């Protein structure tokens, strides 16, 4: 079948004919280069780029919390940070991790299903060595954990899961629980091999030992909250939680702030001439105030209460007898005081 000429090639040919006999050397075909993205129907993408980015932000918080908690527990410098967040099939994840390894099956309550936390053997044995009083050197021998070592790792993983719960607070009240620890990845089939998962890879350094921690979450597990994995929902949740978290502290601090409270008998407008001629003993008539009228009690620069003057012991005092109706809506909650209080 002959090749079909493009419009550019036809234009070049017509131009050559109009100018004379065309030569083969002068005729150059136009290269049509197009970027083609390969799509594998066997492993369709189920996480959008925005959802992947939100998962990365969540686990950056998790990495900071884990750095602090493990440093305190191991009494050694620990560094944890997010290396990558990818989506792949569960079979690809299982094939990518070594055997034996430390592989914890995590119950993601209240979500249905499990997740996997895999810790590199070099990191595992370094942490165990630190807790046993050693220098934190890992072992080069690939072997399974003993019963005592497995019990020690359970304590470490439980602390890591506490950090995970705090990092997920903005999305869901997650209560992760440790199920069991496996050393052979083939024994941890929590979902079918073709199921899509999101894999969070954390670069971890304990002392001089470096390795990876992998957190594998199947799509079917987080599908009920997939709509919450968006930047808009995440940042709005952060703002709400920040306001709620610090409102009690702010109210406690504000309750100790001293403010000016002024009891005002009345006011009158005077010309500058009369003000300059005021002398001791002069009487100023308050035309708008009658004997027996209540005074106005101002808090700061706002008129808040009606009061009446009196005496307590040898000191002047005022008694609050009513509240001034506020026409404007207040932007803050007033601090209520139970019982009758006397302030001098």
**Same domain membership, residue 266 and residue 237:** no
Pull the structure tokens for residue 217: 């979450």
Domain end, chosen from 194, 218, 245, is at: 245
- Residues in contact with 64: Cβ distance below 8 Å, sequence separation at least 6, in sequence order: 80
Residue 332 lies in a domain: no
- Structural domain contains residue 38: no
**122 in the same domain as 240:** yes
**Range of the structural domain that residue 91 is part of:** 49-245
Classify each residue of 86-125 as buried b or exposed e, where b means 16 or more C-beta atoms within 10 Å of its C-beta.
ebebbbebbeebeebbbbbbbebeebebbbbbbbbbbbbb
Q: Indicate if 56 and 148 belong to the same structural domain.
A: yes
Domain boundary among 245, 279, 299: 245
Q: Does residue 306 lie in a domain region?
A: yes
Residue 344 lies in a domain: no
Q: Are residues 121 and 152 in the same domain?
A: yes
36 occurs within a structural domain = no
Question: Is the backbone peptide bond immediately before 311 cis, with ω within 30 degrees of 0?
Answer: no
Q: 59, 166 in Cβ contact below 8 A?
A: no
Among 225, 226, 215, which residue's Cα sits nearest to residue 114? 215
For the chain, how big is the Rg over CA atoms in Å?
A: 37
* CA pair distance 5, 316, nearest whole angstrom: 105
Query: The tokens 């044995």 sit on which residue?
Result: 125
Q: Facing residues of 296 across strands? A: 264, 306
Which residues have a Cβ under 8 Å from the Cβ of 213 and sit 6 or more positions away? 80, 117, 118, 119, 120, 123, 201, 202, 204
Residues 83 and 13 in one domain: no
Predicted local confidence at residue 136, as pLDDT? 76
81 belongs to a structural domain: yes
Mark whether 74 and 162 lie in a shared domain: yes
Q: Say whether both 201 and 304 belong to one domain.
A: no
Q: Do 63 and 21 belong to one domain?
A: no
- Give the number of domains in the chain: 3
Regarding whether 139 and 215 lie in a shared domain, the answer is: yes
**Residues 198 and 267 reside in one and the same domain:** no
Give pLDDT tens digits along the chain (344 positions): 456 677 777 777 777 777 765 555 555 555 656 666 666 666 667 778 888 888 888 899 999 999 999 998 888 889 999 999 998 889 999 998 888 889 999 999 888 889 999 999 889 998 998 888 888 776 676 788 888 999 999 999 999 999 998 888 888 888 999 988 988 888 888 899 888 899 999 999 998 888 899 999 998 988 888 888 776 665 565 555 555 556 777 777 788 888 888 888 888 888 898 888 888 988 888 877 888 888 888 888 888 898 988 888 888 898 898 888 865 444 444 444 444 555 54
- Domain presence at residue 83: yes
Domain at 285, CATH number: 2.30.330.10
Angle of helix 147-167 versus helix 121-131 axis, rounded to 10: 100
The residue out of 245, 267, 299 marking a domain boundary is 245
**Contact of 307 with 263, CB cutoff 8 Å:** yes
pTM of the model: 0.57
Based on the domain organization, do 54 and 195 belong to the same domain?
A: yes
Q: Which helix (H) or strand (E) holds 168?
A: none
pLDDT of residue 66: 92
Q: Do both 235 and 273 map to the same domain?
A: no
């Amino acid at each position: 079948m002959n090749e079909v000429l493009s419009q550019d090639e036809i234009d070049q040919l017509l131009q050559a004919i109009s100018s004379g006999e065309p030569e083969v050397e002068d005729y150059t075909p136009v290269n049509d280069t197009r970027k083609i993205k390969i799509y594998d129907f066997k492993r369709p993408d189920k996480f959008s780029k925005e959802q992947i980015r939100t998962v990365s932000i969540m686990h950056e918080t998790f990495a900071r919390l884990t750095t602090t908690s493990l440093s305190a527990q191991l009494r050694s410098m620990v560094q944890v940070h997010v290396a990558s967040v990818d989506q792949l099939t569960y079979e690809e994840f299982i094939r990518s991790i070594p055997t034996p390894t430390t592989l914890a099956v995590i119950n993601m309550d209240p979500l249905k299903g499990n997740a996997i936390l895999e810790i590199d053997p070099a990191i595992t044995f370094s942490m165990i060595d630190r807790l046993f009083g050693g220098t934190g050197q890992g072992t080069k021998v690939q072997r399974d954990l003993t019963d005592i070592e497995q019990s020690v790792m359970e304590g470490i993983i439980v602390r890591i899961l506490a950090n995970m719960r705090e990092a997920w607070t903005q999305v869901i009240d997650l209560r992760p629980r440790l199920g069991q620890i496996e050393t052979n990845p083939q024994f941890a089939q929590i979902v079918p091999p073709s199921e899509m998962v999101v894999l969070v890879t954390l670069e971890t350094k304990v002392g001089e030992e470096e390795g990876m921690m992998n957190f594998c979450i199947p799509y079917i597990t987080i599908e009920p909250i997939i709509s919450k994995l968006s930047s808009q929902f995440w940042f709005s949740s952060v703002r709400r939680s920040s306001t709620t978290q610090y409102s009690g502290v702010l109210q406690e601090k504000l309750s100790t702030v001293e403010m000016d409270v002024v009891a005002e008998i009345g006011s009158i407008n005077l010309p500058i001439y009369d003000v300059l001629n005021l002398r001791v003993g002069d009487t100023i008539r308050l035309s708008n105030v009658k004997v027996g009228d209540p005074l106005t009690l101002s808090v700061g620069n706002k008129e808040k209460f009606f009061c009446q003057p009196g005496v307590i012991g040898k000191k002047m005092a005022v008694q609050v007898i009513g509240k001034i109706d506020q026409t404007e809506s207040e932007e803050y909650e007033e601090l209520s005081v139970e019982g009758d209080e006397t302030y001098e």
